[in-house]
Amino acid sequence: MRKYIDWSKKTRFVFPIDGDVLNRYDGEIRDGKLYVKVRVESDSPVKINGVTAEKCDDYYTAEVCIGEGKTVLRAEGENETDEISVFTLDKHIGYYRLSSDDNIIFLYDINKNKDKYKSIFDNPYLAVYKKAHDLYGAAVHLNIYYEMPAEHKYFTETREYFDLSMMTDKFKAEWQANSDWLKLNFHAKSDQPDKPYIDTDYDRIYNDCKKVMDEIVRFAGKETLSAETTVHWGECTYEGTKAVRDLGIKSLAGYFVLENGVPVVSYFYPKYLTDYLTTRDFWYDTELDILYCKIDRVLNLHTADECIELLNQMNISKTRSGFIELMMHEEYFYPDSTLYEEDFESRVLEPCRWAYEKGYKGIFLDDTRK
């Protein structure tokens, strides 16, 4: 596996690291340009992009102007050099996204009631997200399964088997008309087994993902298919991650946290990188050409009041509060679910209201680079 941070190098960047996505909170804006104090660890004096760095405690530092898009940083010591790429996004500070995982029941319901519903938003679950958009400008992204069984361990009600090939295209025009704020993409083939792609090869996830994407285009139009998602459980091999990128997915969201010292919802990335990414809004894998976004709050884990308090605490950390990523799960919406949350709607709407009142605007991950 590639060494994302190589401590064995005699000259290496400490901050930023390769793939860092920088913003004004990482430095200072002067004359419309971002200047960042770069830190390098070296066994000899260093030049950073041609500028002689000053020794400060254990590091060599130099202020560097970070350009738009991609900037290459080069540290030259007497015995070794290190080179990294860092990035800026057009729309980073002051934006938020609302996503939801494990989605398929709402599609089953729309399909089942296709002759009754006049709109996809007659579905009560989808209506919650429309409120989030109408009231608070949320950009809503739903990560969906290909299929669901008639019986499920979380639900007491027996439904009917359903997969996306059965989904009506009756409402395609409405999906397309709302695609500026509502988008869909792959999550997994199905809810079970847990962590289905933690050991996947290239072909397995590629085929599952393509089936979902093809059906979305069929029933909701290419306008509704996004270039971003969260893979089920946020666990995936390098080969699997490459597969979804080859299908056009350019951005992935994850927790990037450690539990008992082990990375969780962090795809295939090692502990030392996960530990760093938990402090950042975004990171860009320069090898796979994928932008990663850190999920800030999982809304089903907290009451609305608890979530607001946590967001207020997080808002103090500038490297985490430029972009806010909120995430929910569909199964918490339904009364027959063992995971049911009666206050589901407020858990979605109140954090969106918080973001809106703080001046954040809804955006999709892919649009941060436009």
- pLDDT tens, position by position, 159-187: 999 999 999 999 999 999 999 999 999 99
- How far apart CA 274 and CA 262 sit, in angstroms, is 9
Q: Does 272 fall in a domain?
A: yes
Residue ending a domain, choose from 69, 87, 105: 87
Statement: residue 1 has pLDDT above 80 = no
- pLDDT above 90 as % of the chain: 92
Residue ending a domain, choose from 67, 87, 107: 87
Q: Does 1 fall in a domain?
A: no
DSSP reduced 3-state for 337: strand
Residue 115 belongs to what domain range?
A: 95-369
Tally of structural domains, the chain = 2
270-306 confidence digits (pLDDT tens): 999 999 999 999 999 999 999 999 999 999 999 999 9
60/155 same-domain check: no
**Two structure tokens written together for 76:** 């030259």
Residue ending a domain, choose from 87, 116, 145: 87
The set of residues, in sequence order, having a beta carbon less than 8 Å from that of 150 and lying 6+ positions away, is: 158, 159, 160, 161
- How far apart CA 264 and CA 254 sit, in angstroms, is 9
Q: Does 340 fall in a domain?
A: yes
Kind of pairing, strands 297-298 and 361-362?
A: unpaired
179-233 confidence digits (pLDDT tens): 999 999 999 999 999 999 999 999 999 999 999 999 999 999 999 999 999 999 9
- Segment 128-157 shows an average pLDDT of 95
* Structure confidence at residue 138 (pLDDT): 98
195/63 same-domain check: no
107/64 same-domain check: no
- Domain of 21, CATH number, reads 2.60.40
Residue-wise burial string across 182-212, b where 16 or more C-beta atoms lie within 10 A, e elsewhere: bbbbbbbbbbeeebbbbebebebbbebbebb
- Domain of 158, CATH number, reads 3.20.20.370
Kind of pairing, strands 11-15 and 33-42?
A: antiparallel
63/113 same-domain check: no
User: Look-up: residue for tokens 């996960």?
Assistant: 274
Q: Which amino acid is at 220?
A: A
- How far apart CA 236 and CA 242 sit, in angstroms, is 10
Q: Does 148 fall in a domain?
A: yes
59/170 same-domain check: no
Q: Does 224 fall in a domain?
A: yes
236/325 same-domain check: yes
